[in-house]
Amino acid sequence: MKKIWLCLLVFVLVLSSIPFTAWATPSQDPPFIDDHFEDLDLNKAPEDYQIGPDPQNDINKVMVAEVPPTSIGNDSEKAMKLHDEGGTNVTAQKVFQQQNGTITTEFDFMQPRMAGTSKFFQLKNAEGNKTALSLELRKPAGEEEYTFVYSDNGAYVKLTDPPIDHQWYHFKIIANTVTSTVDIYIDGELVAEEVAFLDDFSEDGIARIASATPGSGGGHLYFDNIKVYPAPTTAPEGLRAISGNEKVQLFWEVGDGALSYNVKRREASGEAFVTIASDINDTTYVDTELVNGTTYYYVVTSNGEKGESEFPEEIEVTPTDTPELPGTPENITSVARDTQVNLQWEPVENANSYVLRRATKPSGPYQVINEKITKTSYTDTGLVNGRTYYYVLSAKHIGGESLPSEELAVTPINSLSMPVDVTAKEKDRSVALSWEAVEGATVYEVKRKDSDQGTFQLLKTVKGTTYEDKELVNGKPYYYVITAKNKATQSLESQAIAVKPKADDGKPNMPKQVNIHNIEDGELQLNWQAVENADYYIVKRRDASDQPYTIVGEELTEPVFTDKSLQNGKEYDYVIHAVNESGIGYSSIQVKGTAAEVIKVAKDGSGDYQTVQAAIDAVPDHNRSRIVIQIGAGVYREKIKIPNKKTNISLIGQGNGPEDTILIYDDNAKTIGPDGEEIGTSDSYSVLVQADDFIAENLTIENDSGNDTAQAVALSARGDRQIYRNVRLIGWQDTLLATDDVRQYYVDSYISGDVDFIFGDATAVFDHSIIHSRDAGYVTAASTKKTNIGYVFYNSKLTAEEGMIDSVELGRPWRPYSNVVYIQTWMGEHIKPHGWNNWGNSENESTARYGEFANSGPSGEAMERYSWTKQLTLEEAMAYMPEKVLAGDDNWNPVEKEILLDSNAILSSLTLDGKSLENFDPNQKEYVVTLPANEDLPAIAAEAMSEKSIVTISQEGTEAKIEVTAEDGLKQIYHIQFVTTDDFGIVLEELISSGEIRHPLAKQLTNAYKLYQYHDEKGAEQQATKFLQKFKAQMEKKPALISDQAYQTLKQIILKLIQK
């Protein structure tokens, strides 16, 4: 027996002499998925895949198919095919054992032709509601062709050049759930490294692969040789150490497949390693209570799904009582904000933390404001705007603290509000601007552009709140914005205002407050504010921007007009002119309307339907032309659903205001559904809109389940490019669910609730709206994806029930990367001074993206806001402007802006044979040109003052007509009458008979003419000239008795005769 134990001891000693790297070998476990489809029946779906649609149909199906002989790069006979001829998405998904470490996925992929917008491969969690990676066929920003991309929360990052049709490509994807990153290989080449997961997988593992075709566009996808297998667990690389006084700190890189780490130590070579720490989740460890001067040996191993990794090479380190200090932080930068200073710096090697000190005088004395900073940035808050602060920074690790950095001086600045109530008064060749003063502003920049396109250019910097822009062109549109400014900063630009200068010529001003809406099938109705001194109105229309306007309504005595017999689905442009006895005034703003099929809903049975849902159901699926559903005033208690296939629907309330048409229901999350289970928050909606391109106007959507029940959604908005204008959304908790990674625009609206009453992951802008808190709670609970923009409140107002003080927070993060921004928003005293909430999780403070800029009101002050929220700079705020936030790949811009058409129909020049017409005045329309006898008529040329006007010249005999047509269709006509010196007497007689020369001057000129004629016939040139000069002197002596035009005409003849 002793011999046996002796043999065992020898065996153990032999094993102990084997290098540690040979102790463990990677496991060769079978893959979770290994699909090559060769043994499966053709034209049938693989049984272990979840497929859609279900049931399948002939044009949308998943099946095993023959590998097309025309394809290149795959010798297999069979593959899985997602066959899609359009109409709906074809999907294939497969679930496998959840993996929390590192997994590798490989597959071969081919498409016979480009299946653009396909999400052809995704890694998901078991439930399928979270996505780690989405490979898609998209057009990257700025490119015209579809190619392989990965989705970066709305952005598409290019992986390769566009794939070739019929070409097979081999993909290899290594996904690490610990680091939440992915490496992507295509045909053996690493094309993307450490791509961040789309969603938070901290509580989920990867357990599903998925693929989806475009749906509406169609396209076939082929897959073969699909494998999913765990990556072998490897020991961490890059192990290094720094020594301190009686302690050592170890650092290492992430090991493949590692879920945690073990630290092992020995004090002499040849000794057995002892595990001193196990299941460490970090990539650093501090070993303490060591003996200075003693050398220690360390290794770190990884723990994976299948056990512990092999041993790496050891390192040795010796603690000391004189350790080396960390380096001094360098390249510190600062951003001055409203009551905040944001500091950033380069990381110091091996630093564990940083110490920030601050002073109010150069060179101190300094006070420590934070000595446990673990990041390379810090926001100092609660500062006094305009006061300069002085900062120094040092680094710390186990060896001690570094020397301080160079001093950095920073002055926080107060954000300026944009000027409001900007007005523009049109005057003769000028525009008078005025606006409200902005607190903190010392000057204002007035900017102008001459078109609705392009950028504004600085016109003038003024100290007051008024400015008159002069030497303008009457009838030409001008657009203005005002910016408030001081020495430190400036505001956002004001809302643009458009105006056309106008002479005080008695003509009426242009009509304002023009609205357009659908009335009946193929009809559009316009209404506008009545114009003072207008006798009637003219309405003009054009069918395309490159066509001229034509009159469709004239001599309208009321400010309303209905245009009929229009083509449904077609967009039309309109302008309106007011007219009186002085002439036609300038055109109104241009309005656009789309003729549409109209469906009417009325509770009393007078419409097409009595319920809203019945009208929605009547809309054709995948409708491409807008259909307007007019809802008569009344209360409609029904649960309404607009599925994603019911696109391009408008719901328009027909009451005087949104409170007159109410869509209401009373479900809540605890309501028992048809299956006997609680329906949950998502299905508690009163109205669900899944469809894209939806519009709601002038109505109320309400959930009246009550404040004492569970979550109750009024509106669940889940479609892209949705617009809600002048609507009321009424509820308590969870009033508005704006979600599903889409874009929505809420304008001139009212939303009320208490807890999280605006929530979800949509990109949504709330513009000029009232957000009303009915009880204590949180305004928002955004679940924004990591790189998306979430909720933007712009020029809005936060109000509350009377008596509510410090009881509501601006938002809390439903998901870690929640993004909510308030810009130029008034906040009542119900908002708590610190503003925000981290949902009880301090980790959210490092990921949530909460910002404010130039807010006002009792709670708009930034002084007490949390340091993990941000007061935006001007540049940062500009990135959140509605038109930028909502643009997307299709440049969607639902923000309405005023567009004025040019009404100027004036000539800037008139030439005869290339020479300017003598005494040309753009405002004079009639000319008489005297030519020597028997001289040919000159060539006429004319240029319009506006580059958008059209000039046409026609001539008949000795009369010429120059017609100028402005952009909006207004016309001016200039006439030229050519006469010769032989026509002197005839012209004089006509001017007297027309009343342009009055007595006694008419008699005096007639006598002078007769005397001239008498001497001219006798050949007495000197006497004839004498009486011509007398004729001219008499005209000049009595200007009140002769019109300017008559004077100029006769003057021309006289000068020609004298010259002769």
**How far apart are alpha carbons 301 and 262 in whole angstroms?**
5
Select which of 256, 469, 756, 902 is catalytic: 756
Cis? peptide before 938, omega within 30° of 0: no
Task: Return d(Cα 891, Cα 1021) in angstroms, integer.
Answer: 77
Give the other-Cβ count within 10 Å of 384's Cβ.
13
Q: On the CB side of 202, how many CA atoms lie within 13 Å of its CA?
A: 6
**In the chain, count of helices (H) and strands (E)?**
8, 75
Edge-to-edge strands, sheet with 524-527: 515-518, 524-527, 560-563
Strands of 119-259 (E only): list them.
119-124, 131-138, 147-152, 155-158, 169-176, 181-186, 189-196, 206-212, 221-230, 240-244, 247-251
Which two tokens mark 167? 């070409």
Instruction: List, as own/partner pairs, every contact residues 60-66 make where C-beta atoms lie below 8 angstroms and the sequence separation is at least 24, other chains included.
Output: 60/84, 60/85, 60/87, 60/88, 60/90, 61/90, 62/90, 62/91, 62/92, 64/37, 64/40, 65/222, 66/42
DSSP state of 749: -
Rounded Cα distance between 386 and 407, Å, is 18
Let me know the angle formed at the C-alpha of 866 by 864 and 869, rounded to the nearest 5 degrees.
125
Compute the residue count for the chain. 1060
* Cβ atoms of 989 and 494 closer than 8 Å: no
Helix (H) / strand (E) element for 1047: namely helix 1044-1059
Q: For the stretch 1020-1051, what's the b/e string if a residue is b when 16 or more beta carbons lie within 10 angstroms of its beta carbon?
A: eeeebbebbeebbebbeeeeebbbebbbbbbb
* Cα-only R_g, the chain: 40
Q: Is 756 a catalytic residue?
A: yes
Structure tokens at 761: 């992951």
Token pair, residue 231, equals 């990556």
Beta bridge partners of residue 80, listed in sequence order = 64, 223
Q: What single-letter DSSP state applies at residue 938?
A: P
How far is the C-alpha of 324 from the C-alpha of 244, rounded, in Å? 8
Q: For residue 505, what are the contacts with CB-CB under 8 A and spacing of at least 6?
A: 582, 583
Contacts of 748 (CB under 8 A, 6+ apart): 725, 726, 767, 768, 769
Name which of 19, 21, 17, 33 is nearest 234 in CA terms: 21
Q: In whole angstroms, how far apart are CA 1009 and each of 555, 899, 1023, 1044, 1049?
A: 48, 56, 12, 19, 15
Q: Are strands 247-251 and 60-66 parallel, antiparallel or unpaired?
A: unpaired
Contact 78, 66 (CB under 8 A): yes
Neighbours of 677 (CB within 10 A): 8
Angstrom distance (rounded) from CA 84 to CA 501: 58
Sign of CA dihedral 638, 642, 646, 649: positive
In angstroms, the CA 22 to CA 425 distance is: 87
Burial of 245 (0-12, 13-18, 19+ CB in 10 A): middle
DSSP 408-463: EEE---PPPPPP-S-EEEEETTEEEEE----TT-SEEEEEEESSSSS--EEEEEES
**Which positions are annotated as active-site residues?**
756
